[in-house]
Amino acid sequence: MIEDKNQQRTALSQLGEFGLIDHLSKNFDAKQKSTIKTIGDDAAVLEFEDKRVVVTTDFLVEGVHFDLSYMPLKHLGYKAVVVNLSDVYAMHAEATQITVSIAVSNRFPLEAIEELYAGIQTACKQYNIDLVGGDTTSSTSGLIISVTAIGQVKKGDEVYRSGAKPNDLLIVTGDLGGAYLGLQVLEREKEVFKVNPNSQPDLDAYTYIIERQLKPEARKDIIKLLKDLDVKPTSMIDISDGLSSEILHLCKHSKVGCDLYENKIPLDPQVISTCEEFDIDSTTVALNGGEDYELLMTVSQEDFPKIKANPNLTVIGFITEENAGAHLVTRAEQKIKLTAQGWTSFKKD
């Protein structure tokens, strides 16, 4: 992908570290009033006045979190930003700034890194955030990206994982399982390509789920929607590691149990049809797939009339007492203990 002989290749050594930073950051303009000083000094300067600041950081490592054989660098830059912004929105906060640090091997020319930063810039424009700093260094093991996202929230408006109460409603945004299935399709086509490099994959039937994997979106719109509906969640978390894992996080931090109803989990028709093709259970995919970057929240039952008709929000269960435990209620109305089988960074061999 980045070895195309017809493309211009400028060695990063021609620019040096500071020349590279200047080159990559020259097209990023500050839009936030809270941004006082951006790239070009020892540190960025931000001013939030009476707001509380939220900060979150994520790593993306080549070979662990992404595969450049099917992940375009521009999409990767966009996704690296989005996955961090999702954590900010999960705090019921507004994302305002990011820093981006990269470690890159000498197999990447300047033009490849420009593509990566074009995706980062697109995300900055889409989500109205400022790039205010970062770092660049060399790597002996491919590409590593670290993004730190900064946001603000009015004191008292922040939402943690620890506020759920018995009888609260369990609510999810959007639909689930698409990103995982998109990855399965891409991995399958990669294996086909290895056998026959002349094959051209027909991915028209998988457009939605592939986009969910390669170009996810953070749910900034939900924060505005909740404000417009005059609803403040009692707890909230983003769905990066799978629905079951995130529900168990909420239950652990809030010291509650829950009943999750299988027949209420929102699934896109493309997810259902692809599950049938791969002979995978759609509920298993939704529970354990991960990387959907939707928001999982709990809401007081008093607020149900405000959210019940909204197509962006689906009630999938309710919170119970801690000693009741966390369960999946199947379509056959059997209760099964909920277990976390989603993504984990440190799996045993």
Instruction: Identify the residue whose tokens are 């670290």.
Output: 146
Q: How many CB atoms lie within 10 A of CB 304?
A: 13
286: which 2 tokens? 């939704």
In the prediction, which pLDDT does 44 show?
A: 61
Q: Which residue range forms the structural domain that includes residue 104?
A: 12-154
In the prediction, which pLDDT does 341 show?
A: 72
Residues 192 and 147 in one domain: no
Long-range CB contacts for residues 332-338, cutoff 8 Å, separation at least 24? 335/259, 338/244, 338/247, 338/248, 338/258, 338/260, 338/287
Residues 72 and 98 in one domain: yes
Does 161 fall in a domain?
A: no
Q: Final residue of a domain: which of 106, 128, 154? A: 154
Residues 214 and 333 in one domain: yes
Mean pLDDT by 10 residues, the chain (349 residues): 59 71 72 74 72 90 93 97 96 95 92 96 97 90 94 92 97 98 95 84 92 97 97 96 95 97 98 96 95 98 95 98 97 94 51
In the prediction, which pLDDT does 79 show?
A: 97
Q: Tally the domains of the chain.
A: 2
Residues 177 and 318 in one domain: yes
Residues 283 and 189 in one domain: yes
Does 264 fall in a domain?
A: yes
148 contacts: CB under 8 Å, gap ≥ 6? 55, 56, 57, 84, 98, 99
Quickly list H helices, 279-310.
Answer: 282-288, 304-307
Check which CATH number belongs to the domain holding 199 and give it.
3.90.650.10
Residues 238 and 146 in one domain: no
Q: Final residue of a domain: which of 95, 119, 154? A: 154
- Taking Cα atoms as reference points, which of 262, 257, 246 lies closest to residue 325? 257
Check which CATH number belongs to the domain holding 72 and give it.
3.30.1330.10
Does 348 fall in a domain?
A: no
Residues 126 and 19 in one domain: yes
As a whole number of Å, the CA-based R_g of the chain is 21
In the prediction, which pLDDT does 46 show?
A: 76
